[in-house]
Structure 1
Amino acid sequence: MADRLETLMADIDEPVSLMHVCGSHEQAIAKFGLRSMLPDGLSVRMGPGCPVCVTNMPEVDEAVAIAEQGATVATYGDMFRVPGTKKSLADARADGASVEVVYSASEAVELAAANPEEEIVFFATGFETTAAPTAAILDADPPANFSVLSAHKYVPPAMEVVAEMPDVDIDGFLAAGHAATITGYGLFEPFVETYELPIVVGGFEPIDVLLAIERLLEYVRDGKAGLENAYPRCVSKAGNEQALETMWDVFETVPGEWRGIAEIPGANLVLRDPYAEYDARRRFDVEPVDDGPDPLTEQCICGDIMAGKADPDECDLFGEECTPSNPVGACMVSSEGTCKIWDEYGGHPNL
C-alpha cells in the first residue's frame, strides 16, 4: 500500500492535503503510525471531527447552570472535564452539583426512571451517530422528569465551511464511516457537485484508512471530483432510513457556533416544537453569567487545529500548560481530540 501511495503521488507531482472529519480516524492514524507510510508531499489532517471539541463554551456553561440549579446532569465521560467559560461539569460536581457520567442516552433515561423525584437532564453531544439514539429515546415517551440539553451537531455544513476557508487548501475529504452508517453516503453528493472535491467514506481499521486515502489520491491524480463508499460492509447509499426519519422528526437544524471555528448555518441540532416538553432550554434558566474566558484559554489554538490550519505541536500550550490531566482546550479532553491523541501517541505521531 505504501508503494501504491508513492506511485500515485509521483503522478500528481504537487503537494496534496487531505482532511478527515472523525476522531476515530485520527486515533487509527496515530496509533498505527500511518503517517509514517505517507509519501513526501501528502498530508492528512483532522478537521472538525470531534463533537466534544466543537461543543461551544456557552453550551457547557448551560449544562453547568442547570446542574447548579439542582437538577442532575447526565452526560458522556468525554464531556465531564471540558472547560466552559469558567467551569467544567467536573468543577460543578466538585462544588456540590449532581453530575453523572453515562454511556448512552438510554442509560440517562434509566436514571430518570429510577429517580422520579429528581430532574434528570441529558447533556447530549455528538454528531449523527449519537443524535439518532437521542431522538429514538425522545420518540419513545421518556419519563416526565427527563429532558435533553442538545449540543448535537450536524457535520455536512461544517465541511462546507472548511472547504470555503481561503487559507485552508483541501484536495479531498475522508468521511466518517460510522456517521455514514446512519446518514448514508448519498448525503455527500451535493457537496461533491458544489465544491468539486472528492469524498471517500472510510472505515477505521488501518487498511480501511489507507484504502480511502488511496482512492482519494486517485481522484486527485485524475483531476476529478467523485464520491465513493470504501466501507460497504457497514455503509449504504441511503443509510439507516428508519433512524434518519426519527432523527429528523425530533430534531431540526439551526445556526450554531462551533467552538473556535465559526458560526455555521444549519450545523446545530435542536428539538422541534412537538418535543418542547423535553427541551431543557425551555424547562430551565440556562442563561449563565458570561464574565469572558480565562486568559490562558484565549491562547488555545483548538479552533485552528480543528479547521486543519495547525497541528497540536504548533500550540505553545501543548504538553506544557495543556495536558490531559490539566486540559486548557477541548481538544486535549476528549479521546477523539487531536491534542489528546497526539499526547497519547507521542507528539507528532509519525513513528
Structure 2
Amino acid sequence: MLKHLDEYRDPALARKLLAEIAAVTTRPWVIMEICGGHTHAIIRHGIDLLLPRQLELVHGPGCPVCVTPVALIDQALALARRPEVIFTSFGDMLRVPGSRESLARIRARGGDIRTVYSPLEAVNLAVQNPAQEVVFFAVGFETTAPGNALAVQQAARLGLTNFSLLVSHVLVPPAIGALLAAPDNRIQAFLAPGHVCTVEGLQDYEAMAAAHQVPMVPAGFEPVDILAAILLLVRQLEEGRAQVENEYRRSVRPEGNPAARLAVEQVFQVCHRTWRGLGEIPASGLRLRPEFAAFDAQCKFALEETGEMESPQCISGAILRGESKPPQCPAFGKECTPEHPLGATMVSSEGACAAYRHANRQ
C-alpha cells in the first residue's frame, strides 16, 4: 500500500504529467471515463480542474448500481417484502430508490434484508436457514460476475433449493458501442475500466478501438495512473492513432483472468439488457444458463415487470450518457442529496452525483 501512496500519488510526478499533457494538447478533445471509480478519483483529486482547458472529461455509465433499471429494483423490493425471503445485497444497493421506496425503507419496517460482502455469504445463509428463501441481488459489471458464478456453482454442489440470484449483470463494451453510435456523440477517447479489464482482458477493447477509431487506455485509480492514461490518450488523439495502450499493467493482462472468465462462461450466457439512461442494448448483459434456471429468482418467483416511475426532477440518464454533469441538475444538492436521493447517481458509492457532492463541487 505504501508503494501505491508514494509512487502513484507523487505530487512531483503528477505535476510533470500535467505539464506533458499541456505541452502535447493543441486542440479540444473530449475523453470519457467509463468507470465510477475513476469518476470519484478524478473529482476527489480535482484532476479535471488541473487539465488544459481544451480537454474535457465527461462521466459515463460506469456505475453498475446507477444503470440498474428501476423496474429491476422494483422486483428486488417485491422480493424483499415477502415474509419467507431473506434478501441479501451489497450495501450500495440499499438506498437506491425504486418507483416508490428503497430496500433500506423496507428493512426499517422489519424486512429481512441483510448486507453481505460476498455472494458466498448468501449461500451460507441458505445453508443455515433451510426453511427460508435466500435471494442475492447480483448487480455489477464483468468484475462481480465471477464471484456470483462461483456462488451458483457452490449452491449447486450443496444441492440447495432455497438459494437464488436476482441477476442484473451488464457488460461494458456494448455500452461503449451504444454511446459511440449515438447521433450526437462527442466522445473521442475512453479511459477504459481497470477492474473490468483485469477480468476480461483487452481483446474486446482492441476490437472496438479499431472498429470505431477511438483510443482506449485501461487505467488504475490513483492520480498518477489517471494522468498517465490521459497523456497516452491525448498523444494518440493528436497523432491520429486509435489503439489500446495499457497503463494499468500491474493489474491488467491482455488475456485477463482466464479462471474468472471460465467460471462466468460456465454459469452465465449473454443476453439483451436494459440500462437506466441508455435503454435496451443488445447483447449487453448476462443471465443464468438454462441448466441453472433453478437459481434464477425471476423465474423461481414469477416476478412481473413493473412500470418505471423515476423522479421527473432527476436527470441521471443524461449524466450516465455523458451529456450533463451533476451540477447542471436543478435538484442537485437541493431536493436531491445523499440523505434523500432522487436517483441512483446520488446515492451509489460510484455515482457521479455522489462524487460531486462528497467533494462539495457545485
Instruction: Give the structure-1-normalised TM-score.
Output: 0.94
Identity of aligned residues (%): 41
Question: Are 1:101 and 2:115 counterparts?
Answer: yes
Which secondary structure state, in structure 2, belongs to the residue aligned with residue 129 of structure 1? coil
Cross-structure match for 2:176: 159
What is the letter of the counterpart of residue 112 of structure 2?
S
Q: Any residues of structure 2 matched to 1:1-351 within 5 Å, and which?
A: 1-10=17-26, 14-70=27-83, 71-140=85-154, 141=156, 143-287=160-304, 290=307, 293=309, 297-348=311-362
Q: Which moved more, 1:19-28 or 1:101-110?
A: 101-110
Matching residue's letter, 2:272? P
Give the Cα separation in 1 of the matches to 2:246 and 2:70.
35
Counterpart CA distance in 1 for 2:205 and 2:153 is: 27
Report the CA distance shift for 1:230/1:144 in structure 2 as closer, same or farther (over 3 A).
Answer: same
Give the 3-state SS of the residue equivalent to 2:245 in structure 1.
Answer: strand
1:269 Cα offset (Å): 1.2
Structure 2's unaligned 5+ residue stretches are 1-16
Q: How much has 1:285 moved relative to structure 2?
A: 2.9
- Secondary structure at the counterpart of residue 2 of structure 1: helix
Structure 1 stretches of 4+ moved >3 Å: none
Farther-moved stretch of structure 1 (209-218 vs 104-113): 104-113
The Cα offsets for residues 148-178 of structure 1, whole Å up to 9 and x where unpaired, read as: 0001111110010011112221110111111
Query: CA separation in 2, counterparts of 1:237 and 1:320?
Result: 45
Which whole-Å deviations, capped at 9, do the CAs of 1:45-75 have from their partners, x for residues lacking one?
A: 1101000000000110111111222211100
Contact 1:81/1:90 (8 A) holds in 2: yes
Q: Is the 8 Å Cα contact of residues 66 and 285 (structure 1) preserved in structure 2?
A: no
Which string of whole-angstrom CA distances, capped at 9 and with x for unpartnered residues, describes residues 6-45 of structure 1? 11113xxx21000011111111111111112200110111
Tell me how far apart the structure 1 counterparts of residues 306 and 348 of structure 2 sit (CA, whole Å). Answer: 25
Asked whether the equivalents of residues 95 and 102 of structure 2 are also in contact (C-alpha less than 8 Å), the reply is yes
Distance 2:353 2:185 in 1: 19
- The CA RMSD measured in Å over matched residues stands at 1.3
* C-alpha distance in structure 1 between counterparts of 2:219 and 2:200, whole Å: 14
Q: Deviations over 1:75-117 (max 9, x none)?
A: 0111001111122111222333221111111121122222222
Instruction: Provide the C-alpha distance between the structure 1 equivalents of 2:348 and 2:137, rounded to a whole number of angstroms.
Output: 15
Q: Secondary structure at the match of 1:139?
A: helix
| Per-residue CA distance 1:292-320 (angstroms, 9 max, x = gap) | 525xx122110110111000000011000
1:163-208 residue CA offsets vs partner (Å, 9 max, x unmatched): 1112221110111111111001122122112111011011111101
Which segment is superposed worse, 194-203 or 133-142? 133-142
Q: Partners in 2 of 1:287 and 1:5 — Cα distance? A: 51
Name the amino acid aligned to 2:117. Answer: Y
Do the aligned residues in 1 keep the contact of 2:267 with 2:292 (CA within 8 Å)?
yes
The Cα shift of 1:289 comes to 5.0
Distance 1:229 1:2 in 2: 19
1:228 aligned counterpart, secondary structure: coil
Distance 2:74 2:201 in 1: 33
Q: TM-score, normalised by structure 2?
A: 0.92
Contact kept in structure 2, 1:72 and 1:119, CA below 8 Å: yes
